[in-house]
Amino acid sequence: MIDEARKIRLLMALRRSGITDATVLGAIERVPREAFVPENFADQAYEDRALPIGLGQTISQPLVVALMTQALEIAWDSKILEIGTGSGYQAAVLAKLGRRVYTIERHRGLLEEAERRFAALRLHNITTRVGDGTKGWPEQAPFHRIMVTAGHAGREPPPALLEQLHVGGCLVIPMGEDGRRQWVVRFRRTENGIDREELWPVRFVPLLPDLPDGEARAM
């Protein structure tokens, strides 16, 4: 009951902060955030703050999750690519909205934990892989929607992600040329090219290419 009361307060706060898409709010309501945070942070699961999940990574602030999900404008039949699985929370929210979610994580340990959570919650429309997210998932492209949950240092997104975007689709990604000041940017692929729209400032852990040294040797 305590978690339900905290969840209701969080949903009300998200509404006040500009989350107007009822389907996004519904997805957040149906995904138990406490299942995606370390046990010692479970009492903070419904606070509007990022929390550590190990290996220098975090589970994003609920408002950021909601804003980025809303910015994707997901349709029920969307095929979605997520870069940066982390705890799996964002993928779980996306899975409540789209037809299929493909998610990539650099750290095998984090991905294995996320996979266990997906199985426990019976989220069978999520497919995972360990890999370099900057390269996307060419075997499954094109995607209607792509979300990156790490900050990309540069003015242009990784070229592979734009190449794997369906015409009419959009990519939502945090970006910052100096690696400190970041903005969430939405790119739309049209028949005539790529449209760019800067949305709001944010702070994410960096988007890194390749795999960590130990992971790369294990492949």
Phi, psi of 216 (to 5 degrees): -65, -40
Asked if residue 36 lies in contact with residue 87, where contact means CB atoms within 8 angstroms, the answer is yes
Buried b (16+ CB within 10 A) or exposed e, 65-79: bbbbbbbbbbeeebb
Bridge partners, 195 (sequence order):
188
End-to-end Cα distance, the chain: 44
Q: Assess whether 87 carries a catalytic annotation.
A: no
Q: Which of 17, 60, 78, 87 does the annotation list as catalytic?
A: 60
d(CA 61, CA 158): 24
Active site residues: 60
